[in-house]
A and B are shown apart, each in its own frame.
Chain A
């Protein structure tokens, strides 16, 4: 067998490759020429090939033979560049972090930096030298050169920091705060290490830009030149091999600096992964020793009461805009598993973050364990948060991630690692203790995040869409796992999700939210059996929503005529309705029988039945989901057991009759007034 693999490269690829190589030749060719010419024989001159090889021109540089002071200017330039690099790094890192918030005046500083970047260098130099002249100051090249060059390196460094920080995930910092780090500890242990490669980049920019800066320095340096100025002075004789020798030397210096910077960036990355590889070997060599399960965790237990109460909590992000959370009251008992359920933008994550202390309510109070924690920092609340993207510190091993909170509290390495191992065992990850987060699968990362959150013995665990990053199979397994762990720990879990099935599967209490309000807070079963209003019924699913006007009242039931003319009996269950008023009712989809409308069978005016055309049929395994088009905007679905359906399969486009018993209908609380037609609009159902 002879197989040729066809690469499938279009001709443009080869054309562009050629163009690229030509560009490289253009870029490097002339520079190589001067490097070679700097070794020209002792007679000098521009000749090809060289008339011999000598190092005479380099000697001349050091020997100070040409009236210049290359060694002195070189020293000055290096000194200046080092100072500029250090100051640029300090100021740009600090400012880059500061610019993450919008605050009054930030725009002015930003545009000042941009203006400084695009301004002709000589203009800035002129300004600086004029100031010194007008003030009559005799300045050294150090201060004036430094000032003029910083106007060039700072904006560059700032742009680099913006690029680096733009890729930085804020939840790393929030996780650190959660785990008890002070602002300074957070910066030192988390923010700076993660940003380190970018910071080295800023230093590199600062150094090389200063080392090469000419236009801004030329008017401000005074009598003592920096290296570029000295080179500039030498350009009066552009064919001197000495000039080329300077070129060779400065290029070597530049390459050394870049090489060191890039090398250290690469080393940081490699050390992180090699550290991981080495420790993986050690794990394989010495299997984890069983730790003493009976030992008390190193952390003092927080107050045991993890009940949560929100009192009239309102959160407004932008004044004037509708609030993200509007006057919300909620009580969650200690040890409950509570799910906040709603579509995106309903305010559920805001509530979670206000309980965690990552947001503060505009008004209202947050109580945890009967203590008002409204203004407290995350660490003082006894809560722990598991972030949507997990926010595992990428530069720390699994066990260092888990033990982070204990490290912050000054617990010795052995003690904190022992506790961390116990938790890793609980989430069955003890074999992965020394890996880096990036070397774990999504499900494993999630379990590490869980272990890290639990190490502080929180009384409340806050989970922000914990399962959304997992595939379907893992999602189903992990949600059972979460429930198991919650039972085992007996602490309060607040779990934010937009998936109804997830909420009803795990939660003791499901809180259905919409537009910053709670629509219903009850057990999963109650919400399913007795949704409070049409929104809840539609969002939870499993219910059809019927609406119409009350025709008459009899035997504790209302006979309601729907928009399509069907008559539905609705048990009042003690609620009051007025004849003629519009009411909404829910009807369980799994209690509806569907049969084919016989040919020639007239549409009969039976109570508790509707007639329509089959719109879609979806086989769900144990049942078949049939959507019937009744001629109004409301979706009408019947979930028919598969054996009933396949006895007489009905097809799309057939006309069918759906019937049910009035006992499966619940009256909803919506009482739209004439003006609020919006209530009758079907809401988008979250997937």
Chain B
């Protein structure tokens, strides 16, 4: 007896599809529905109102929050892109021994496996007013007063983001770079291209899909973050999601749902924008 191939495939992906539908698909729909509900201080009231959305678009905090989140997203994206591309380029094209290559790659990825919150926290004793960095600079006589902008500032937020998310950028770029046939580089060298030209004309276009994939990871992570901003800015900055979290903490579910829907629309538009520039399906399929 032969099972029809389409049926066999459905049986194989069925469990995964079910879980994703139940715990992702349905919740998305529920959030969208609830965003039109009303609420009082104890309960959610099923009805259809647009007040939640009106409030979001009439409040000037919304614009400020999005601006702040977008600012972080763009800065972190640019920094992780430069670092990720440089490191991947180094590992793929400059390290010759395969063993050393794997070893260095593992060294980069090991911190990724440890707790995100701990990794973020670890910057506090380092960057603090009496932290290691200020102590070192003072002992070296470079500064007489501790630097205050290091911790509980936008600077600290960006440092923590870069620390947490560079790997998300580096790994996809590394993957697509590793797939480039080194003979292409040799051919370009034979044609007289400089290292810089090779990078710009050969390497960069061929790892576009990796860059796009990494960009999607980094941008969505930053846009969805709330704890880094909260801790590292010392409460001075806020992000879209940290405001959302406050609403949830106050049990204001319908306005929280509306903010979440608006956020997701923005994020999806950003992802769609990246996908418009680069087709990553090829990268995912292979």
Residues of A at the B interface (CB closer than 8 Å) are 10, 12-13, 16-17, 19-20, 23-24, 26-31, 33-34, 37, 46-48, 87, 90-92, 94-95, 97-99, 101, 103-106, 109, 112-116, 118-124, 126-128, 130-131, 133-134, 147-148, 150-151, 154-155, 158-159, 162-163, 166, 204, 208, 211-212, 214-215, 219, 227-228, 231-232, 235, 238-239, 243-244, 246-247, 250-251, 254-255, 257-258, 262, 375, 377
Contact B121 A123 (CB under 8 A): no
B89 at the interface (CB under 8 A from A): yes
Give the interface segment out of B11-19, B48-56, B204-212. B11-19
CA distance A150 to B108 in the complex (A): 26
B30 at the interface (CB under 8 A from A): yes
Chain A residues, CB < 8 A from B26: 127, 131
Contact A118 B220 (CB under 8 A): yes
Q: List 25 A-B contacts (CB under 8 A).
A: A16-B89, A19-B86, A19-B90, A29-B126, A31-B122, A91-B15, A98-B8, A101-B6, A103-B9, A104-B6, A118-B217, A118-B220, A119-B267, A122-B244, A126-B244, A130-B31, A130-B253, A151-B23, A151-B24, A211-B115, A228-B115, A231-B117, A247-B122, A254-B114, A258-B113
Closest CB-CB distance, B52 to chain A, in whole Å? 14
Give the interface segment out of B60-68, B70-78, B255-263. B255-263
Q: Which of A29, A120, A150 contacts B23 (CB 8 A)?
A: A150
Contact with A along B175-190 (1 / 0, CB 8 A): 1000000000000000
Which B residues from 147 to 202 make CB contacts under 8 A with A?
163, 166, 175, 195
Which B residues from 106 to 153 make CB contacts under 8 A with A?
106-108, 110-111, 113-119, 121-126, 128, 130-132, 135
Closest to A27 in B: B111
The CB with the most chain B CB atoms within 10 A, among A13, A114, A212, A238, is that of A238
Closest to B32 in A: A127
Q: Which of B16, B107, B132, B256 contacts A33 (CB 8 A)?
A: B132
Other than the given A155-B20, A231-B118, 11 more pairs (CB < 8 A) read A12-B94, A16-B90, A24-B107, A34-B121, A101-B8, A109-B13, A109-B16, A128-B23, A148-B23, A211-B115, A251-B115
Chain B residues, CB < 8 A from A103: 5-6, 9-10
Chain A residues, CB < 8 A from B271: 118
Contact A130 B118 (CB under 8 A): no
B238 at the interface (CB under 8 A from A): no
Contact B220 A147 (CB under 8 A): no
The CB with the most chain B CB atoms within 10 A, among A37, A118, A219, A243, is that of A118
Chain B residues, CB < 8 A from A250: 114-115, 118
Q: Which of A31, A33, A159, A214 contacts B111 (CB 8 A)?
A: A31
CA distance A105 to B15 in the complex (A): 14
B81 at the interface (CB under 8 A from A): no
Closest to A258 in B: B113
The CB with the most chain A CB atoms within 10 A, among B5, B24, B117, B263, is that of B24
Contact A12 B195 (CB under 8 A): yes
CA distance A162 to B217 in the complex (A): 18
Chain B residues, CB < 8 A from A227: 115
Contact A131 B121 (CB under 8 A): no
Contact A119 B24 (CB under 8 A): yes
Chain B residues, CB < 8 A from A90: 15
Contact B27 A124 (CB under 8 A): yes
Q: A94-B16, A127-B30 are in contact. Are A122 and B226 (CB under 8 A)?
A: yes
CA distance A673 to B241 in the complex (A): 74
Q: A19-B90, A120-B223 are in contact. Are A105 and B34 (CB under 8 A)?
A: no
Closest CB-CB distance, B115 to chain A, in whole Å? 5
Contact A215 B226 (CB under 8 A): yes
CA distance A174 to B38 in the complex (A): 59
Contact B125 A95 (CB under 8 A): no
CA distance A4 to B252 in the complex (A): 74
B2 at the interface (CB under 8 A from A): yes
CA distance A215 to B222 in the complex (A): 12
Chain B residues, CB < 8 A from A147: 19, 22-23
Contact A46 B86 (CB under 8 A): no
Closest CB-CB distance, B202 to chain A, in whole Å? 16
Contact B6 A154 (CB under 8 A): no
Closest to B139 in A: A48
Q: Which of A105, A109, A112, A123 contacts B263 (CB 8 A)?
A: A123
Contact A30 B123 (CB under 8 A): yes
Chain A residues, CB < 8 A from B132: 33, 48
CA distance A357 to B217 in the complex (A): 44
CA distance A106 to B77 in the complex (A): 31
Contact A10 B24 (CB under 8 A): no
B236 at the interface (CB under 8 A from A): no
Q: A130-B34, A162-B285 are in contact. Are A94 and B224 (CB under 8 A)?
A: no
